[in-house]
Every structure is written in structure tokens, then in C-alpha cells.
Amino acid sequence: MRNILQFLIKYQFLLLFLLLETIAISLVIRYNYYHQLSYLNFAQKWHASVSLKKERIKQYLKLKTVNERLVAENESLRNELAFYKKAFNKQSEQRNIDSTNLRFLVAKVINSSVHLPYNYLTLDKGTEEGVQPNMAVICDQGIVGVVIAVSKHFSVVMPVLNKKFRVSAKFKKNNYFGSFEWSGNNYRIGVLNDIPLHVPVAKGDTIITSGYSNIFPEGIMIGVVEDFSVSMGTFYSINVRLTTDFKNLYYVYLITDNSLNERTTLENSVTNE
Amino acid sequence: MNRIPSYILRFVLLVLLQIFIFNNIQFSNFINAYFYVIFILLLPFDIPRTAMLLAAFFMGLTIDLFSNTLGMHAAATTCMAFVRPVVLKWISPREDYEIDSLPTLQYYGLRWFVGYTLVMVFVHHFVLFFIEMFRWSDFFHTFFRAILSTLFTSLLIVLSQFFFFRK
């Protein structure tokens, strides 16, 4: 109490000044029509802008939940789409491996690297959720990689950005296929090899998975042709710009192909003979 | 202590002068003279600072009551009184203010008095005109108005020193 009094006495000049100014300004606003109007106008605007900002911040904070909900919805939509494709194909008596029996499972990337020669991703889903080794991993932008190890709640993916990664890829326009791998230094560029010289190649051509591997279904987006050169005289070496941005990867889809088991068993039985 | 009635008389006279004469002098609605602020200029050096604030506030409020601008002059005069100690210190002559002297032209000369008047009147007019406009757009227009009116009011105040407030 004494301190408050001392404070009041010490700053009486300033405090009295502030008090009188407050009285004066409130009189101005209270009793002058023009000032009252501008004050109300200002206060209203200020209030509106503050509530707008508040709303934006709230939205931003909600973004995570919204995102998760959207991804979950995407997952179910993809599954539904696969189901209808299957039904459609059955109807038209054209069984097609790429769209039948596919199941999608959404997962979140919780660890990744892009700058090493052998990069890996870690996902937050494991055997508990039905993840198995050799499942294909894609995202909304295109190809991601292959599951190589699974634990109860996590799985490790070998992405395209790994020197050991190979996938069979083809031109969307004419189905010529080759072997696709990472360039090894730029995380946006991969290399498509084994395309014979008579194939017409142009910048901007779309490269997709061929479906010849046991892992990826046909038609997954890989990238577009950036430039190309002739290597060793007989084949093109084509630089492909990946559509997947591995530095900006949050949600991925794991693909289960129910027909895969049958197919591998059959294929293995032939090679074993 | 016996000076107080004479200040009250001066207060009343200045209010009457302002509302009956100077409030009616306007050059194209642009230049206004607020001569009454001389009341705050000429308050004695040794007046308690809080008393000065209150006196200035009531001076402004009285003018407001008669010119239908409630609060505006009060805000401006209070601001003016608030900066007075700082301004006085800032422009004090080398051997400080003499006891028993007043802040007038007769004691401290034309130069000192003109500087003092210009600064103080400008503070008053600046605050007053901006509160009158109540917005920052047209800043330079309002600023220019404040400067012109400051010159006019200051001229009147300095002239009055020669005619009315003799030692």
C-alpha cells in the first residue's frame, strides 16, 4: 500500500496528465458527433481485423486435423475407386492386373533423407496395420519406393532416391520399357536406361511404371523426360525429372496387391524348373 | 498567494476575448488564432506542476464549453502544460531563471520569448488540429494548418506583450 502511494506521488505529474488526457479524449469522443462516428468506425474495423486474424490462426492450428481427415478420406476413396475399377473390368471381361485387387493404406513419413547415396524413409505403420515387405509405396505426386523392412508399428522404405533401387518403367505414349534408377546426385532427377535408339524420345514425355515388376502396379507416375543422350552406342540414357518431391513428403499410400501372391508363385514355379 | 485572484481575473478575461473575438477571426477556415493559450505561457515558474496541469485543463475545458468542441481544447492545453517544464528547461538562459521573475518578454527578452511561444503554441495547435481531424490521412494538410496558425497566434501573443502585459 505504501509502495503504491509512493508510486502515485512520484509520478503524480505524469499520472495526472494521463488522467486529464483520458478525460479530454473521452469527452471528445462522447460529445462530438463526427469524432464519435470515426471512433466507432475505427473500433469496428479494428475489431473485424482482429477477429479475422484470430480466425486465421484458429484455422492454421486446425490444419493438422483437417489434413489427417482429408488423407483418411483419400485413402477410402482410392480403395473405393479400386473396387469400382475391378467391378468395371469384370463387367467388360478385361481383367487387368494394374487395377484389380489393389488395396491402399495410408501412412505418414516420420523420417527421411534425400542427400545420401542410399536414402531411406521411415513410415508410422507396421505389421500391426498390415504392412508387409515388398509393398509398393506411392504418393499423390507419383512413385515413392518399396517397403524393405517392417516392425510392429514402423516400416522402412527404400525410396527411388537409393542407388540400389530399380524399377521397370515405360513411356506412357508408346509402351517402350526400360530400367529406371536414381541419378545418384540430384534428388529431383532419375535415369531411364535400356531404351533402344529407334524409339522416338522427346523432352516432356511422361514416364510411368510398366507393371512388369512384382511390386508396382502399372501406371504409377514416375516423371517427365528432362533431357537424353546416347550411352554406349545402342541405348538412350534419359534423364527423368521426378514428379515426386521427396523433400516435401508427408503422407504416402502403401499398395497391397491381392493377386500378387498368385502371380509370384506362378512365376517362381516356372523359373525353378 | 495574493496573485491567485489576478490569475483568475486573467482567466476570465482571456476566455471572453477568445470566445467573442478570436473565435470569430478565421482566414478561409484555415488559420485560427487561439490567443487564450497565453494564460498557460505566463503562469509563474514556481507554480506546482499538478496545479498547472489542472489550470490548463480547465482553461481548455472552458473554451470547449463555449465553442462546442468538448474535450479538444482540454486535450491540447493539457498536453501543452505537460511539456512546459521540459521546454522551459530546454531553453533556459545560462544563469537559470531568477526567483520572482515571470516567463515574459520583459524579463527574458524578445528572442527567448519568441522561441518559447513558438514551441509551446505549436504543441498546442498540433494536438488540437489533429484531434479535430481525428485521422492521420491528410497529415500534411493538417500539419501545414497547425504551422500557419501557430505563426498567427504567436504573432498576436508577442504583440500583446508590448501592449498589455507591461512590467
Top pLDDT among B134 and B84 is at: B84
Least confident of A2-6, A96-100, B95-99: A96-100
A256 exposure class (CB count in 10 Å sphere: 0-12, 13-18, 19+): middle
Cα–Cα distance, B144 to B104 (Å, whole number)? 27
Which residues lie closer than 8 Å to A164 by C-beta, 6 or more apart?
A: A118, A158
* Domain enclosing residue A182, as ranges: 96-258
Most confident of A53-57, A118-122, B118-122: B118-122
CA-nearest residue to B82 within chain A is A17
Q: Does the pLDDT of residue A96 top 50, yes or no?
A: no
Query: CB distance from B50 to chain A under 8 Å?
Result: yes
The predicted pLDDT at position A9 comes to 85
Interface predicted TM-score of the whole assembly (ipTM), two decimals: 0.86
Quick check: is A212 in a domain? yes
- B-chain CB neighbours of A39 within 8 Å are 134
Please report the DSSP string for B137-151 in residue order.
TTHHHHHHHHHHHHH
Cα–Cα distance, B82 to B77 (Å, whole number)? 8
Closest to B141 in 3D by CA, of B151, B150, B133, B131: B133
Cα–Cα distance, A56 to A51 (Å, whole number)? 9
Question: Which grid cell is A154?
Answer: 514402423
CA-nearest residue to A36 within chain B is B134
Secondary structure of residue B3 in the 3-state scheme: coil
Nearest chain B Cα distance for residue A46, angstroms: 14
Question: Which grid cell is B19?
Answer: 470566445
Identify the residue whose cell numbers are 541419378: A183
pLDDT-derived band of residue A100, with 50, 70 and 90 as boundaries? low
What CATH number corresponds to the domain at position A187? 2.40.10.340
The predicted pLDDT at position A98 comes to 47
CA-nearest residue to A22 within chain B is B75
Quick check: is A222 in a domain? yes
Cα–Cα distance, B24 to B32 (Å, whole number)? 9
Domain count, chain B: 1
What CATH number corresponds to the domain at position B144? 1.10.1760
Closest to A148 in 3D by CA, of A163, A137, A161, A140: A137
Cβ B64–A27 below 8 Å, yes or no?
yes
Question: Which grid cell is A46?
Answer: 479494428
Question: Which grid cell is B22?
Answer: 478570436
Q: Does the pLDDT of residue A231 top 80, yes or no?
A: no
> What is the number of other CB atoms lying within 10 angstroms of the CB of residue B99?
7
Residues A235-258 have a mean pLDDT of 88
- A-chain CB neighbours of B88 within 8 Å are none
Quick check: is A151 in a domain? yes
Task: Count Cβ–Cβ pairs < 8 Å, chain A vs chain B.
Answer: 60
**Identity at A268, one-letter amino acid code:** N
CA-nearest residue to B73 within chain A is A24
pLDDT-derived band of residue A90, with 50, 70 and 90 as boundaries? low
CA-nearest residue to A24 within chain B is B71
Cite the beta strand spans of chain A per DSSP E.
Answer: 102-112, 121-123, 136-138, 143-150, 155-159, 167-171, 177-182, 189-196, 206-209, 221-231, 235-242, 251-257
Nearest chain A Cα distance for residue B120, angstroms: 16
CA-nearest residue to B72 within chain A is A28
Question: Which grid cell is B14?
Answer: 482571456
Query: CB distance from B80 to chain A under 8 Å?
Result: no
Identify the residue whose cell numbers are 516567463: B103
The predicted pLDDT at position A95 comes to 45
The predicted pLDDT at position B1 comes to 52
Cβ B75–A34 below 8 Å, yes or no?
no
Least confident of A85-89, A172-176, B61-65, B101-105: A85-89
Residues B139-153 have a mean pLDDT of 90
**Identity at B91, one-letter amino acid code:** I
Quick check: is A202 in a domain? yes
Residues B122-135 have a mean pLDDT of 89
Least confident of A185-189, A200-204, A259-263: A259-263
B98-104 contacts at long range (C-beta below 8 A, 24 or more positions apart): B99/B46, B101/B45, B102/B42, B102/B44, B102/B45, B103/B41, B103/B42, B103/B43, B103/B44, B103/B45, B104/B42, B104/B161, B104/B165, B104/B167
**Identity at B56, one-letter amino acid code:** A
Query: CB distance from B135 to chain A under 8 Å?
Result: yes
Strand partners of residue A138: A143, A253
The predicted pLDDT at position A137 comes to 92
**Identity at A191, one-letter amino acid code:** V
Residue A102 near residue A255, CB atoms below 8 Å: yes
A30-69 pLDDT per residue, tens: 888 888 888 888 888 888 888 888 888 888 888 888 888 8
Top pLDDT among B44 and A231 is at: B44
Portion 90-119 of B in contact with A at CB < 8 A: none
Dihedral angle sign, alpha carbons of residues A217, A207, A236, A120? negative
Cα–Cα distance, A239 to A229 (Å, whole number)? 8
Dihedral angle sign, alpha carbons of residues B91, B93, B94, B97? negative
Q: Does the pLDDT of residue A233 top 60, yes or no?
A: yes
Question: Which grid cell is A95?
Answer: 481383367
Quick check: is A187 in a domain? yes
Mutate to test the interface with B, among A14, A15, A16 (most CBs of B within 10 A): A16
Which residues lie closer than 8 Å to A84 by C-beta, 6 or more apart?
A: none
* Domain enclosing residue B28, as ranges: 4-163
A128-141 pLDDT per residue, tens: 888 988 899 998 88
- Side-chain half-sphere exposure of A78, counting CA atoms within 13 A: 19
Mutate to test the interface with B, among A18, A32, A36 (most CBs of B within 10 A): A32
Query: CB distance from B62 to chain A under 8 Å?
Result: no
Nearest chain B Cα distance for residue A31, angstroms: 6
The predicted pLDDT at position A94 comes to 47
Q: What is the mean pLDDT of chain A?
A: 85
Q: Does the pLDDT of residue B39 top 90, yes or no?
A: yes
Q: Does the pLDDT of residue A97 top 50, yes or no?
A: no
Mutate to test the interface with B, among A22, A28, A37, A42 (most CBs of B within 10 A): A28
Radius of gyration of chain B (CA): 15
Cβ B72–A28 below 8 Å, yes or no?
yes
Cα–Cα distance, A168 to A212 (Å, whole number)? 6
- B-chain CB neighbours of A27 within 8 Å are 64, 70-71, 74
Which H or E element spans position A267? helix A260-272
Q: What does residue A152 show for φ and ψ, rounded to 5 degrees?
A: -65, -40
Domain count, chain A: 1
> What is the number of other CB atoms lying within 10 angstroms of the CB of residue B119?
20
Cβ B82–A12 below 8 Å, yes or no?
no
